[in-house]
Chain A
C-alpha cells in the first residue's frame, strides 16, 4: 500500500471514530440554546480540560512552534511558557468568578457577560462583530494549514483538501453543538499528545542517540539555540503580551469557563489544562531543537515538521499527521460554535423578539455560514490571510480592559466601547503601516492604548451604579 493510501485510510478511520463520538454526544444532547452552545453547563472536569487544551493549541504548535524553535531556539519556549503562566493566572484567579456569574445570570456567550455587566446590548453586539472580524481570518489559516498538509502528504489538491476539512468540521460541530465539540476535542487532544510524544521518542532515540546525548549535542554544537535573546526582545514581548490575555480575549476559550458542571470540574479543567500545556509545549520545543541537528539549513521553517515526517516510518508519520489535523479541527470547530453562539445571543437574540426554538434554528444556520466564510477566505491569497490572522491575536487584546472592568466599580460603557474601537484601530494602523513607535509591536500598543482609554474615560464619567 502506498504512503498516500495509508494516509487517506488513516484519515478516514480517524473521521469515522470522530463521527461515532459525535453521534454518542448527540444522543445525550437535549433541547435549547444553552444545551447546544454550552452543553447546559454539564461537562465534567476531564472533558472540560481536554476541550480547553484542544481549543487552545492548534496547528501552530506542531508546525509553527517547532519551526520557530528551530529558528530562534529556547526563546520560543519562553514565549509559549510565559503564555501558559498568564493563562494559569487568569484561570486560577478569575475563572471561578466568571463561572459563577455566567451561571447566575444565565450567560451563554462571553459577550453576553459583557452586555449584562455594562447593561448594554450594543456592547455585546459590537464586541461580537469585532471578534468575528478578527477570528474569521485566524480560522481560515487553520483551514489553509490542513489544506497544505493534506496536499503535501496525500497529493489531494489544495481546494479539495480544504473542502474535506469543511465537511469534517461541519459534521463534528453541527450535529450536537458543544457536547459533540467537547467530546471530539477530548479525542483530538489525546491524539495530539500521544502522537507528538511518540514522535519525540522516535526522534530522540533514532536521530539523537538518546535523551542524554541530545542535551550534550545541543549544548556543544548548537549553543546559540540556548540563548534567551536569540529572538529580539521587542519581538519576544510583541508575541508574548497578546498571548498573556488569550484566555480572556479569545471568546472560544473564554466560553469554556462556562461549561464545567460545577466548581470542582472547573478546577479539574484548570489543572488538566496546565499539565497538558506544560507537557505539550516541552515536547514541541524539544522537537524543534532536535530538528536543528537532524535537518540543518532549512529556510522555510514551516516545513520542518513535514521534513521530519518524511524521515519517519509511515505509521508514525500517519499518527503525527492525524495529531496535527486533530489540533486544527478542534480549534476551528470551537471557534465556529462560539462565534455562532455570539451571533445568536448577542446579535439576533438581542435585537429580535423570538422564541428559543427560532434562536436555536438561527444558531444552527450560523454554524455552516461561518464555516463557509472561513472556507472561502482560505481559498484567497494566503499571504494576506496570514497577515490578518497574526494581526487578529493582537487586535482581540482591545477586549481585555472591558473584561477586567467587570471587577471595577467605576467601569463605564462609553469607556468600554471607546477602548475596543481605539485598541482595534491602533492595531490595524500600526500593523498595516509597519510603523512600530519605539520599536514596540502592535499588540503591546493595543493593550497600552485601550487600557489608558478605558481608565481615563471611566474616571471622567460619573461612577457606575452597580445592580
Chain B
C-alpha cells in the first residue's frame, strides 16, 4: 500500500487539532450571550472552513 507523506500533513493536522480542541473547551468558559460561546463557535467553524479551503488551494498549486 502506498505511504502517505506525514510531514506534508503534520502542520495542518496540528492546526486543525487546535481548532477542534478549542471548540471542545473554550466556549464553556465564555458568557451566555450571543457575543460569547455562540459567536465563538460560528467564527471558529468559519475559520476551519477557510483554513480547509487554503489547504486545498495550496495542494492544487503543487
Q: Which residues of A contact B (CB under 8 A)?
A: 74, 77-78, 81-82, 84-86, 88-89, 91-94, 96-97, 100-101, 104-105, 116-117, 215, 218-219, 223-224, 226-229, 233, 236-237, 240, 244, 264, 267, 270-271, 274-275, 278, 282, 406-407, 409, 466-467
Q: How far is the CA of A273 from the CA of B21 in the complex (A)?
A: 22
Interface size class of B (residues with CB under 8 A): 35 or more
CB pair B24 A82 closer than 8 Å: yes
- Mostly helix, strand, loop or mixed at chain A's interface? helix
Of all chain A residues, the one with the shortest Cβ separation from B33 is A226
Nearest B residue (CB) for A219: B34
A264 to B12, CA, bound (A): 20
User: Does B28 lie within 8 Å of A233, measured CB to CB?
Assistant: yes
- Interchain CB contact (< 8 A) of B55 among A92, A117, A223, A264: A92
A88-B49, A275-B49 known; A226-B20 Cβ under 8 A: no
Q: Which residue of A lies closest to B17 (CB)?
A: A89
Per the bound structure, the CA–CA distance linking A150 and B35 in Å amounts to 40
B18 to chain A, nearest CB (A): 11
Q: Cβ of A227 and Cβ of B56 under 8 Å apart?
A: no
One of A81, A101, A237, A467 near B44 (C-beta < 8 A): A81
Q: List 7 A-B contacts (CB under 8 A).
A: A78-B23, A86-B20, A88-B16, A93-B55, A101-B2, A233-B28, A467-B1
Total number of residue pairs linking A and B with CB closer than 8 Å:
113
| Contact of A74 with B37 in the complex, beta carbons under 8 Å | yes
B3 / chain A contacts, CB cutoff of 8 Å = 407, 409, 466
Q: Whole-angstrom distance from the CB of A112 to the nearest CB of chain B?
A: 12
Within 8 A of A (CB), among B1-27: 1-4, 6, 9, 12-13, 16-17, 19-20, 23-24, 27
Is the CB–CB distance between A96 and B23 below 8 Å? no
Q: A240-B24, A267-B59 are in contact. List 10 more A-B contacts (CB 8 A).
A: A78-B41, A88-B52, A91-B52, A93-B16, A219-B34, A223-B32, A226-B32, A229-B28, A271-B53, A271-B56
Please, what's the 1-or-0 string for B27-62, where 1 marks a CB less than 8 Å from any CB in chain A? 110101110111001101110110011011001100
Q: A74 with B38: in contact, given A92-B55, A93-B13, A97-B4 (CB under 8 Å)?
A: yes
Contact B32–A227 (Cβ < 8 Å): yes
A82-B28 CB under 8 A given contacts A77-B41, A93-B12, A101-B2:
no
A227 touches B37 (CB 8 A): yes
CA A407 to CA B12, docked complex, whole Å: 16
The distance from the CB of B39 to the nearest CB of chain A, in whole angstroms, is 10
With a cutoff of 8 Å between Cβ atoms, the chain B residues found around residue A270 in the complex are 52, 56
Closest residue on chain B to residue A91 by CB atoms: B52
B1 touching A100, Cβ below 8 Å: no
Complex CA gap A274/B55 in Å reads 14
* Cβ B60 vs Cβ A267 within 8 A: yes
A218–B41 CA distance with the chains assembled, in angstroms? 17
Q: Which residues of A lie under 8 Å from residue B12 when comparing CB positions?
A: 92-93
Please, how many angstroms separate the alpha-carbon atoms of A96 and B2 in the complex?
A: 13
- Asked if A406 and B28 make an inter-chain contact with CB atoms under 8 angstroms apart, the answer reads no
Residue from A117, A224, A271 in contact with B32 in the complex, judged by beta carbons closer than 8 Å: A224
Residue of chain B at shortest CB distance from A226: B32
